[in-house]
Amino acid sequence: MSGNKASKVKGDAKYYVGMAKEKVGEAIGNEKLSEQGKADKLAGTSEREAASVRDDEKSKHDDTTKKQVDKIINKADDIMNASIENTQKERADKNDADNTNHKSKL
């Protein structure tokens, strides 16, 4: 992952480090450390939520792309099957014509 992109793991790490700072600050009576811990928890929560939104959007984009690719593949299959049917029909018509010509020569 890129250094600037939000990630769920980084968000969780910030949150839990913040929680630890908050609890230690409360335990030793250090209000500044406790407040810093609360701020870190909030930053961690925000980063995790940003990563979740990004992942949800990526998933939606991936689903749309897959649907488009599936449509293209299905269309290509239709074209290929039609071409095969036409080729088979042309061969059958040619064979019929050859058989008719052969019988008329006899």
pLDDT tens per residue across span 70-91:
888 888 888 898 888 988 988 8
pTM over 0.85: no
| Distance from C-alpha of 42 to C-alpha of 10, rounded to nearest angstrom | 13
The domain locations on the chain are 8-105
54 and 6 in contact (C-beta within 8 Å)? yes
Q: Residue 7: in which H helix or E strand, if any?
A: none
Distance CA 91, CA 100 (A): 14
